């Protein structure tokens, strides 16, 4: 058990480092892109400065129409400046939005990877059951202090599997049906026992829990994936 805990802790630390480094890389990349983008954008006052230069260099523009033309140019420069400022604001908002999306995508990706690893680890090692108590009176099974209400048929199937586990036996569908029904194995078929196991798994509810608690061993049968010293029947 300690090695498992250590492994999980190390995995969590590694995942946290990946998230931190990933977020840092995203922020640095987007900050660099924003810096280069804003650096290469034209100056908002460039047009106004050019119009002012035209005024200074052309003192002989004195007619009313020429002055009117320069005024129009100056107004155009002001409009151009305002448009560039609004563009900068839009670009800044888009960069912030992109940063948030990329960070969220990275976090979700790491969470999915971590979840897949945990599920794979559970599938490899099975469920760690500290105690499994079957109560015929209340028609319930207690797994690690979690209560699962079962039907009479499901409880019978679980009881048969529990007794077989305490004897280190693996039961086929035929054997399960024979023990529960009281008929000879020759009069039972595999499908009936398999149906009982399926109904037990359905009664337990959670597919992952039920599939790992009641394991199927290829070409041999069914067995509870718990230690026999953890089983109690009352």
Here the tokens at position 70 are 């320069």
> Which residue in 124, 106, 125, 134 sits closest to 17, CA to CA?
106
| pLDDT for 4 | 45
**Residue entry with tokens 């034209």:** 42
pTM (global) more than 0.75: no
User: What pLDDT is attached to residue 2?
Assistant: 41
List strand residue ranges (DSSP E) for the chain, in order.
132-135, 140-143, 146-149, 214-217, 221-224, 231-233
Q: Read off the pLDDT of residues 169-219 as tens digits, 9 standing for 90 and up.
A: 888 889 988 988 888 988 888 898 889 888 888 887 765 566 667 888 888
pLDDT of residue 5 exceeding 50: no
What count of other Cβ atoms lies within 10 Å of the Cβ of residue 220? Answer: 10
Domain spanning 132-233: CATH 1.10.10.10:
yes
Question: Is the C-alpha dihedral spanning 49, 50, 51, 55 positive or negative?
Answer: positive
Q: Does the pLDDT value for residue 6 go beyond 50?
A: no
Please compute the mean of the pLDDT values over residues 117-139 and round it to a whole number. Answer: 70
pLDDT tens, 31-67? 787 777 777 666 656 666 666 676 666 666 566 666 6
More confident residue, 167 or 10: 167
> pLDDT above 90 covers what percent of the chain?
0
Say if CB 154 and CB 199 are below 8 A apart. yes
Res. 92: pLDDT tops 60 = yes
CA distance 161 to 171: 7
């Amino acid at each position: 058990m300690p090695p498992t805990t250590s492994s999980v802790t190390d995995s969590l630390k590694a995942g946290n480092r990946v998230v931190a480094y990933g977020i840092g890389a995203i922020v640095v990349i987007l900050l660099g892109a924003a810096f280069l983008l804003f650096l290469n954008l034209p100056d908002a006052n460039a047009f106004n400065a050019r119009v002012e230069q035209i005024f200074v260099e052309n003192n002989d523009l004195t007619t009313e129409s020429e002055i009117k033309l320069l005024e129009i140019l100056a107004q155009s420069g002001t409009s151009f400046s305002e448009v560039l400022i609004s563009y900068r604001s839009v670009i800044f908002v888009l960069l912030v939005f992109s940063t948030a999306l990329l960070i969220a995508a990275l976090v979700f990706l790491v969470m999915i990877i971590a979840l897949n690893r945990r599920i794979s680890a559970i599938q490899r090692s099975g469920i760690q059951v500290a105690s499994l108590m079957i109560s015929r009176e209340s028609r319930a099974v207690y797994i690690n202090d979690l209560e699962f209400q079962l039907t009479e048929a499901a409880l019978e199937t679980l009881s048969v599997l529990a007794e077989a586990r305490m004897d280190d036996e693996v039961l086929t569908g035929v054997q399960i049906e024979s023990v529960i029904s009281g008929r000879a194995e020759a009069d039972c078929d595999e499908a009936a026992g398999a149906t009982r196991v399926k109904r037990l798994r359905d009664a337990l509810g959670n597919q992952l829990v039920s599939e790992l608690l009641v394991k199927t061993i290829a070409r041999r049968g069914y067995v509870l994936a718990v230690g026999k010293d953890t089983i109690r029947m009352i």
